[in-house]
Amino acid sequence: MLSPIELIIKKRTGKELSSYELDFLVNSYIDNKLPDYQMAAFLMAVFFQGMNDREIQYLTEAYIQSGNKYFFDKQTVDKHSTGGIGDKVSLMLAPIVAECGAYIPMISGRGLGHTGGTLDKLESIKGFKTDLSQEEFRNTVETVGFSIISQSNELVPADKKIYALRDVSGTVESLPLITASILSKKIAEGAKNLVIDLKVGTGAFISNIDQGNELGRLLKSTSEALGQKTEIVLSNMNSPLGYYVGNGVEVYEAIQYLKGKKIPDLDELTKHLAVKMLILSKNFDSEQEAKRNIDKAITSGKALERFARFIKAQGGDDKVCEKPQLLPQAKYILPIKAKETGWVRSIDGRNIGYSLMHIDSGRKNLDSIIDHSTGIKIKPKVGDYINKNDIIGKVFCNNKEKGTQTANIVTSSYFISENKVSLEKIILKNHRGEHENNNFNQ
Amino acid sequence: MLSPIELIIKKRTGKELSSYELDFLVNSYIDNKLPDYQMAAFLMAVFFQGMNDREIQYLTEAYIQSGNKYFFDKQTVDKHSTGGIGDKVSLMLAPIVAECGAYIPMISGRGLGHTGGTLDKLESIKGFKTDLSQEEFRNTVETVGFSIISQSNELVPADKKIYALRDVSGTVESLPLITASILSKKIAEGAKNLVIDLKVGTGAFISNIDQGNELGRLLKSTSEALGQKTEIVLSNMNSPLGYYVGNGVEVYEAIQYLKGKKIPDLDELTKHLAVKMLILSKNFDSEQEAKRNIDKAITSGKALERFARFIKAQGGDDKVCEKPQLLPQAKYILPIKAKETGWVRSIDGRNIGYSLMHIDSGRKNLDSIIDHSTGIKIKPKVGDYINKNDIIGKVFCNNKEKGTQTANIVTSSYFISENKVSLEKIILKNHRGEHENNNFNQ
């Protein structure tokens, strides 16, 4: 019989835990035999001592084995983003990649703190359901090509319980625990291939590229050890993605993109990820061929059509694709002004993310209720030139006072330089080690 | 309103917590507002990040303020030992020092794991009570000169609750937490002066002298910052203290000592500590004068007489001082034999401590029931010469099979060298920096 105290002390003193020992801790915890305080002490010891690759793999396996595991008789592929500001990429990427022939069984999350969540965005659409049964999920993936749902109690319950404890015990920011949490869901959902969009910058929880590379390495080696083919993409989160941040407004922007609107950063990132996914899933042999098909999926309107079928399959009002005014509309639109003249040197994306809590676009805690009609639109990115008092964006809100708070925070989140600042690239470095931008050691 | 999660993360990232923040954590915890899992995560973060001197002082104050604080209108002095094997020093020291004119209000503890507890030893005496009321405690101290009791719920409840959590969350071995735990009780009990017997060696939880010096420094600076005069004594715990280890057998040995029996290590340590106490409490100006009075207290039989008065005052059968056979007697006495010929190079005191659990002299956990009649007697110390199959000691037990297990473990706890090993001194180094033995970097 293993002793939880001895295992805590073993990790505390930096020793390696075996597969058997990690299984014991995870299983005892979900069976309510290991009390919260022992798991919390263990998680804090992991925060300080880390875990080696073997331990991370065993922990991820223990998470997966705590619940069901789905299997699809198709070439499945998924994308995971580590979370950023204005990241509505899944909404565009999934219908495009599905239109190109791959299948995407996507378990997604809700927003917390400064980052938004794909499920919250989708719930801006009237009637849209994210809690499908296993059968509904399977049918949607097989008929529409993709489905985006929330984590059920049957899927990786260990991660659900341990994540909730990490959130209240100050143990969220641990790379081994982050790795196990991400991959257990992405493997249990049935994705055979996975592209991870690892965000680095002021609006991400990882702010320097070394940490990004380390997390990328852990994610790739763990995922592949567990039989999933994986590609890591490091992307820039020094400016919010696209122009809109919120929930309904991000669905609006995604639909505009699928209708052919050019949004440079979103376009570059979405297509880059789509190519990686389609090569991994073996739908195409060459990047050129993949790109051609991706472009065709958008220009033909087929990707948007598929997005509408997806909305309908999950109970939502698909007319929203033709009439964006069916999305929740805020009462007021307030201007956001520039405070200085010059080049945008940096944008405090984290601050902008938190500013959205004032107008209920973001969650303070798990019980917060989201207002799907609110949000912001902002145009300037790092490297753009702006003039004092220029209108650089707008706030969509239902309370003018709170909206003004948000506008002021956004204004003060822009840091302006008198000297020219170069524009930043969106793709930073992929797992093959290609540096495409090295302006990132902050 | 402070956020517990933010305070956990503040400590986790190595920042200093304020007095207000530490008070908040301690008070919320004893009011059951802070859950165990948050306190456990905090304690593990303290284990890794430590605390600076100010934080340790604030934490100790927060502990003290969680309960009552006693005050005596006398020159009070106490001794604390960090715990060792065969450490019955309090039983001899308290009556001697009281006989020399000081007052000792001693809150003591029970044994756990490999170390014994003074309260368990005293409870070998028929009728002896350790849970005196505040009034009984005060009266005993004022009339007999000393009293030894257990920690009540009114005294430092924060330490009681946090210690129990540390025990099950793998966070016992943290010098700042050890410091706050020891000193909060020794200050709240009303001791104006304190001598700390800091054990270093194979039978102590501190095995190297650097760690001993660091804990000594923390204890002295914290105690003095809180107005208590303090002297640190580092003492050798590479051999068990005296010849007897157990409960009733240690009371027997203490009584023999008070009757004038010469037991070199016990004698040296007891007198060294007694001198320090009597100088601190200003009962004597010079060490010579203190020593003279200590010797007189023993040779005159007055210290033993005082020990008997103490036993009677706390409800025990004081006839035990004249008739030691009134102490609980074990059914069987088994021999312990030497396995090799040579000089004793080291003794695994921790192992010997744990061996006593087989015959119920020691506690596996807080619910274990102690058998007061059992124990061992062992003669050879580090540096002594022994011959294979020599009888080096005996086991007092009520079950021959379990007693044999204990005997075998004791035998195998002696490591023998073919080369001469020098005898070790009992006093290692006091707070003034006098090295009296430097054979200690293990």
B142 and A CB contact within 8 Å: no
pLDDT in tens, B384-407: 999 999 999 999 999 999 999 999
User: Residue B438 has what pLDDT?
Assistant: 37
Residue B40, chain A, CB below 8 Å: the answer is yes
Confidence of residue B437 (pLDDT cuts 50, 70, 90): very low
Could you tell me the CA-to-CA distances from A67 to A62, A72, A162, A178, A226 in Å, in that order?
9, 17, 14, 19, 16
A5 in B contact zone (CB under 8 Å): yes
Contacts of B165 in chain A (CB under 8 A): 37
pLDDT tops 90 at residue A432: no
- In A, minimum Cα distance to B41 occurs at A41
- pLDDT tens, A256-315? 999 999 999 999 999 999 999 999 999 999 999 999 999 999 999 999 999 999 999 999
Domain A77-324, what fold?
Pyrimidine Nucleoside Phosphorylase; Chain A, domain 2 (3.40.1030)
Helices and strands, number each (H, E), in chain A: 16, 13
Report d(CA A442, CA A317) in Å as an integer. 44
pLDDT surpassing 70 at residue A433: no
- The answer for residues whose C-beta is within 8 angstroms of residue B325's C-beta and 6 or more apart is none
On the question of pLDDT at B430 being above 70, the answer is no
Q: In what order do the strands lie in the sheet with A414-417?
A: A385-386, A342-347, A414-417
Q: How far apart are CA A250 and CA A372, in angstroms?
A: 10
Tens digit of each residue's pLDDT (9 = 90 or more) over B205-225: 888 899 999 999 999 999 999
Cβ pair B41:A40 closer than 8 A: yes
**Interface with chain B: mutation pick from A15, A25, A37, A162, highest number of B CBs within 10 Å:** A37
Residue B104 pLDDT class (50, 70, 90 cuts): very high
Tell me if B104 sits within 8 A of B77, measured CB to CB.
Answer: yes
Least CA distance to B6: which residue of chain A? A170
Phi, psi of A56 (to 5 degrees): -65, -40
Q: Which residue of A has its CA nearest to B48?
A: A48
The verdict on B218 touching A (C-beta cutoff 8 Å) is no
Q: B71-75, long-range: CB within 8 Å, 24+ apart, which pairs?
A: B71/B190, B72/B103, B72/B105, B72/B138, B72/B141, B72/B142, B72/B190, B72/B192, B74/B103, B74/B141, B74/B142, B75/B101, B75/B102, B75/B103, B75/B192, B75/B193, B75/B281, B75/B282, B75/B283
| Mean pLDDT (whole number) for A243-259 | 97
H or E element at residue A67: none
Mutation site, B11, B37, B163, B165, interface A, largest A CB count within 10 A? B37
Closest-CA residue in chain A for B8?
Answer: A170
Q: Tell me the residue type at B22.
A: L
Domain A4-50 is found in CATH 3.40.228.10: no
pLDDT at A423: 86
Distance CA B108, CA A419 (A): 70
CB pairs under 8 A between A and B: 73
Alpha-carbon gap, residue A129 to B341, rounded angstroms? 81
Residue B265 CA: distances (Å) to CA of A373, B257, B378, B426, B439: 80, 11, 13, 6, 17
Enzyme catalytic residues of B: 80, 159, 166, 181, 185
Radius of gyration over alpha carbons of chain A, in Å? 22
pLDDT of residue A294: 98
- Each residue of A155-177: pLDDT tens digit? 999 999 999 899 899 998 899 99
Residue whose structure tokens are 């706030």: A395
pLDDT of residue A424: 87
- Cβ contact, residue pair A41, B36, below 8 Å: no
Q: pLDDT > 70: what percent of chain B?
A: 97
E strand segments, A137-294: 146-149, 193-200, 229-236, 244-246
Q: What distance in Å separates the CA atoms of residue B425 and residue B430, rounded to the nearest whole number?
A: 13
Chain centroid to Cα A3, Å, comes to: 37
Residue entry with tokens 């601050």: A351
Rounded Cα distance, A240 and B432, in Å:
62
- So what's the pLDDT on residue A259? 97
Q: What is the 3-state secondary structure (H, E, C) of B184-204?
A: HHHHHCCCCEEEEEEEECCCC
Q: How far B340 CA lies from chain A's nearest CA (Å)? A: 34
User: Which chain B residues have a beta carbon less than 8 Å from that of A43?
Assistant: 41
* Number of separate helices (H) and strands (E) present in chain B: 16, 13
pLDDT digits (tens, 9 = 90+) for B26-36: 999 999 999 99
Residues B323-377: tens digit of each pLDDT: 999 999 999 999 999 999 999 999 999 899 989 999 999 887 777 889 999 999 9
pLDDT of residue B439: 41
What is the Cα–Cα distance from A281 to A103, expressed in whole angstroms? Answer: 9
- Both ends of chain A: CA-CA distance in Å? 48
Using N-to-C axis directions, what is the helix angle for B175-188 and B36-49, rounded to 10°? 110
Q: Is A43 on the interface with B (CB under 8 A)?
A: yes
* Nearest CB to A47; choose among B12, B35, B37: B12
Pick the CATH number of A329-417 from 3.40.50.2300, 3.40.50.880, 3.40.50.300, 3.90.1170.30: 3.90.1170.30
| Tens-digit pLDDT profile for residues A73-122 | 999 999 999 988 999 999 999 999 999 999 999 999 887 777 778 999 99
Write out the two tokens for B63.
Answer: 């502990």
Q: For position A436, what pLDDT does the model report?
A: 45
Tell whether B92 lies on the interface with A, counting CB pairs under 8 A.
no
> In chain B, what percentage of residues exceed pLDDT 90?
86
Residues from chain B that touch A41, judged by Cβ atoms under 8 A, are 40-41, 43-44, 169-171
Q: What pLDDT does A442 receive?
A: 32
Query: How far is B364 from B362, CA to CA, in rounded Å?
Result: 7
Question: What positions of A carry a catalytic annotation?
Answer: 80, 159, 166, 181, 185
CA distance A271 to A195: 12
What is the pLDDT confidence band of residue A50, given thresholds at 50, 70 and 90? very high
Q: What angle separates helix B36-49 from helix B4-12, to the nearest 10 degrees?
A: 20
CB-based burial of residue B282 (10 Å sphere; 0-12 exposed, 13-18 middle, 19+ buried)? middle
Q: Domain limits of chain A?
A: 4-50, 77-324, 329-417
Look up the pTM and report it.
0.88
Within 8 A by CB and 6+ apart from B40, the residues are: A37, A38, A40, A41, A44, A169, B165, B169, B171
pLDDT score recorded for residue B365: 74
Chain B residues whose CB is inside 8 A of the A36 CB are 35-37
The answer to whether the Cβ–Cβ distance between A41 and B43 falls below 8 Å is: yes
**Contact yes or no for B223/B57 (Cβ under 8 A):** no
Q: Average pLDDT of chain A? A: 93
- E strands within A310-440? 332-337, 342-347, 375-378, 385-386, 391-397, 414-417, 427-430
Residue B205: what pLDDT?
Answer: 85
Pairing outcome for strands B385-386 and B342-347: antiparallel
Cβ-based contacts of B170 with chain A (< 8 Å): 5, 8-9, 12, 38, 41-42, 45
- B14 near A CB under 8 A: no
Q: Which amino acid does the sequence have at B27?
A: N
Quote the distance between the C-alpha of residue A235 and its chain's center: 12
